[in-house]
Amino acid sequence: MKESCIPLPPIDYPDGVTTIDVAYVRSGFAASHLIVENGYAAFIDTGTSLSVPLLLKVLAEKGISREKVTHVMPTHVHLDHAGGAGALMQEFPNAFLVAHPRGGRHMIDPAKLIAGTVAVYGEEKTQKLYGTIVPVPEKRVLIAEDESRIDFHGRSLLFLDAPGHARHHYCVIDESTNSVFSGDNFGISYREFDNENGAFIFPTTTPVQFDPEAMRKTLDRLLSYNPQAVYLTHFGPVTNIEKLGSDLRNCLDQFTEMALDLKQEGKAQQDSLASGVQQILRDRLKKHNCQLPESLQDELLAFDYQLNAQGIKVWLDRLD
């Protein structure tokens, strides 16, 4: 994992949404989405504390004052989505943080999030990757129950409880534009793989709460709104949603079948699961007619091979 990278320039879309690269892991890997409506602004997912200056810069370039930011919406409390939320809230005196019912307490007291991260990366690396994780005052936190709505200055945002990737995950349906902000529940699609066949997409099965059955249900629920676009945190908007939804379902089936087969053979260790994920994605990229050399495919996906395998392993172990 690289500790710094040069972010891609922000991209504006006609529905008042801007995709901002938060410069996490590599460029084009993780995004925050800025929504502007009637002069007011909101961020969906924030990157880490180290991403905050990038988000403030885009806001300033658009001539929007910090007082006009009214909502910060981390889809779930994983640090690439919510790590910067506390630091960002300090910059926006009028903003509320909109949290999932299971996520709010971790934003108010991030001690557990920090301890979990330090346990994986150690003190020094945690600081380098995530900066200082800042708590959010309780009175500034709104809890978004399933099917609750926020009137974002005339733009209706509907919140759905969205387990599958994590139990503290919501997705946001932007009812005014018929689009979805999916966090990590409509997979990962890196723009480097776009070609004449469209986008290449695959599910994110990150630890520790990956649940394939819940992910399928969440997918069905998101698709039931027939969105014209889905904004992914990894990375940016995709269209042709019905086709991508079926790609995600197929790929999820392949991941779980591969894992259950390995388990039956007594070979469901991290290394073999990661190779299994790699093989599935390589085969799918071939079918996608991807012309990038395999070494570059691996470079772009190496982080996900490992992380997806870890999440699948935790799920398998829970089945016992």
Q: Which residues bind Zn ion (CB under 5 A)?
A: 80, 184
Q: Least distance from C-beta 45 to Zn ion, angstroms?
A: 8
Residue 37 or 80 with smaller CB distance to Zn ion: 80
Residue 68 or 234 with smaller CB distance to Zn ion: 234
Q: Least distance from C-beta 16 to Zn ion, angstroms?
A: 23
For 4-10, which contacts have Cβ atoms below 8 Å and span 24 or more sequence positions? 5/29, 7/54, 10/34, 10/58
Strand order in the sheet with 17-21: 11-13, 17-21, 31-37, 40-44, 69-73, 96-99, 141-143
17 CB neighbour count, 10 Å cutoff = 22
Residue 80 or 174 with smaller CB distance to Zn ion: 80
Residue 40 or 235 with smaller CB distance to Zn ion: 235
Question: How far are the Cα atoms of 186, 194, 232, 257, 269 from residue 191, in angstroms, in the given order?
Answer: 15, 5, 11, 27, 30
Residue 21 or 184 with smaller CB distance to Zn ion: 184
Question: How far are the Cα atoms of 50, 150, 169, 231, 248 from residue 160, in angstroms, in the given order?
Answer: 28, 12, 9, 15, 19
Q: Least distance from C-beta 62 to Zn ion, angstroms?
A: 25
Q: Least distance from C-beta 32 to Zn ion, angstroms?
A: 11
Q: Least distance from C-beta 140 to Zn ion, angstroms?
A: 24
